[in-house]
């Protein structure tokens, strides 16, 4: 399974990478690296340059001059503080719920279904099945399923979970729900990959030593699954922090749920405020880089891929 590679630790890498570098390595590496340099790194520098531009004196909309307007960053932080905080809060909550929902599922498929290859593969296929149908349509489907007048919302109102004048769609809860749903497969797969290969005899050893199931989980299972937990969390938290589809008004959100992504989109594509959109993107990227560098310090770069 392609996605299964996410959580993998390259065990055999060191044993086979014995050959010395030469013209062949360069021929293999350079095309890809030049491509990423040109179309990944340069655009990031483009963002930094654009984020420091100042308005054109002519006052034309969308026209800017190269400059060092550090003030752009101050403005972005003061103007968009609620959206910035909201993005990280939603990302934190959705990642937490995705972990909570995914862990037992990944444990069941990876540990309890060992030796039953076909059912195991079938269940993994069902976990990744959402990837094969449009992400936007899945989100719209939830919007319609959970809309007012539908059977689920009728029930929610009848038992008093929501008052008669309260709606679910458009609330922060709906956005966090959608984000959690959309990113569960990204959490389940890396968890499954680590849980699928760990030695179950360790659990038997724990039980033989009279450890309670809770203690076995706390002392054996969870620590062993840590690589999966970490890559799953990274693969969910980062895209969620930058997502803007779920929070947008036409999907599960409202103007009160907008996140960083919504502001970048509006400033870049509608208001043509390129420096502001770029400064916001650079800030988001900076936070992500801090998170990644903490991760790299803990586990090295070999485990990244």
Partner 1 sequence: MKRRPFGLATYSVLALVFLLIPIVYTIAFSFNDSTRSNTVWEGFTISHWLNVCNTGNICEALGNSILIGAVSTVIATILGTALAIALVRYSFKFRSGVNLLLFLPMATPEVVLGAGLAAFFFNAGFASGLVTTIIAHVMFCLSFVVVTVKARVQTLDPVLEEAGRDLYANPRQVFWRITFPLLLPGIIAAALLSFALSFDDFIITYFNSGSVTTFPKFIYVAASRGVPAEANVVASGVFLLAIVVVLVTQITGALKRSRLQKVQ
End-to-end Cα spacing for the chain: 15
Q: Which of residues 34-93 bind partner 1 (CB under 8 A)?
A: 35-37, 39-44, 46-47, 49-50
Rounded to whole angstroms, the Cα distance separating 255 from 266 reads 12
Our CB check for partner 1 shows the closer of 175 and 235 to be 235
Our CB check for partner 1 shows the closer of 112 and 298 to be 112
The token duo for 230 is 């970490």
Q: Which of residues 269-298 bind partner 1 (CB under 8 A)?
A: 269, 274, 277-278, 281, 284-285, 288, 292, 296
The answer to whether 56 and 63 are in contact (CB under 8 A) is yes
Does the footprint of partner 1 cover residue 216 (CB under 8 A)? no
The token duo for 255 is 């103007």
Residues contacting 292, CB < 8 A, separation 6+: 234
Alpha-helical regions (H) of 129-258: 135-145, 151-158, 172-197, 201-208, 213-216, 222-224, 226-242
Our CB check for partner 1 shows the closer of 118 and 159 to be 118
Does the footprint of partner 1 cover residue 121 (CB under 8 A)? yes
Our CB check for partner 1 shows the closer of 93 and 189 to be 189
Does the footprint of partner 1 cover residue 181 (CB under 8 A)? yes
Instruction: Give the count of beta carbons closer than 10 Å to the beta carbon of residue 178.
Output: 25
Does the footprint of partner 1 cover residue 260 (CB under 8 A)? yes
Query: 224-253 mask for partner 1 (x: CB under 8 A)?
Result: ----------xx--xx-xxxxx----xx--
Among the listed residues 77, 81, 85, 145, the single contact to partner 1 using CB under 8 A? 145
Rounded to whole angstroms, the Cα distance separating 216 from 196 reads 17
Does the footprint of partner 1 cover residue 5 (CB under 8 A)? yes
Among the listed residues 57, 59, 163, 300, the single contact to partner 1 using CB under 8 A? 300
DSSP state, 198?
Answer: S
Smallest gap, in angstroms, from Cβ of residue 48 to partner 1? 9
């Amino acid at each position: 399974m392609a996605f299964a590679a996410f959580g993998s630790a390259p065990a055999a890498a060191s044993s086979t990478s014995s050959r010395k570098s030469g013209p062949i390595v360069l021929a293999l590496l350079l095309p890809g690296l030049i491509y990423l340099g040109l179309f990944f790194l340069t655009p990031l520098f483009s963002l930094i340059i654009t984020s420091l531009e100042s308005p054109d004196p002519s006052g034309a909309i969308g026209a800017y001059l190269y400059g060092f307007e550090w003030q752009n960053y101050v403005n972005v932080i003061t103007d968009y503080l609620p959206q910035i905080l909201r993005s990280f809060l939603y990302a934190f909550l959705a990642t937490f719920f995705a972990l909570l929902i995914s862990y037992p599922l990944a444990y069941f498929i990876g540990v309890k279904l060992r030796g039953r290859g076909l059912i195991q593969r079938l269940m993994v296929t069902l976990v990744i099945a959402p990837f094969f149908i449009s992400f936007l349509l899945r989100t719209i489907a939830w919007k319609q399923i959970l809309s007012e007048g539908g059977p689920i919302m009728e029930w929610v109102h009848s038992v008093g979970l929501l008052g008669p004048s309260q709606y679910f769609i458009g609330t922060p809860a709906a956005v966090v729900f959608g984000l959690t749903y959309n990113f569960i497969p990204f959490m389940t797969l890396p968890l499954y990959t680590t849980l699928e290969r760990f030695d179950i005899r360790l659990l038997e050893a724990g039980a033989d030593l009279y450890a309670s199931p809770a203690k076995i989980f706390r002392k054996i299972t969870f620590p062993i699954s840590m690589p999966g937990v970490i890559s799953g969390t990274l693969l969910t938290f980062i895209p969620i922090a930058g997502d803007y589809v779920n929070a947008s008004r036409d999907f599960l959100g409202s103007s009160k749920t907008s996140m960083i992504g919504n502001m970048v989109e509006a400033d870049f594509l509608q208001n043509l405020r390129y420096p502001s959109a770029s400064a916001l993107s650079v800030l988001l990227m900076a936070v992500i880089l801090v998170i990644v560098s903490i991760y790299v310090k803990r586990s090295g770069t070999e485990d990244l891929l």
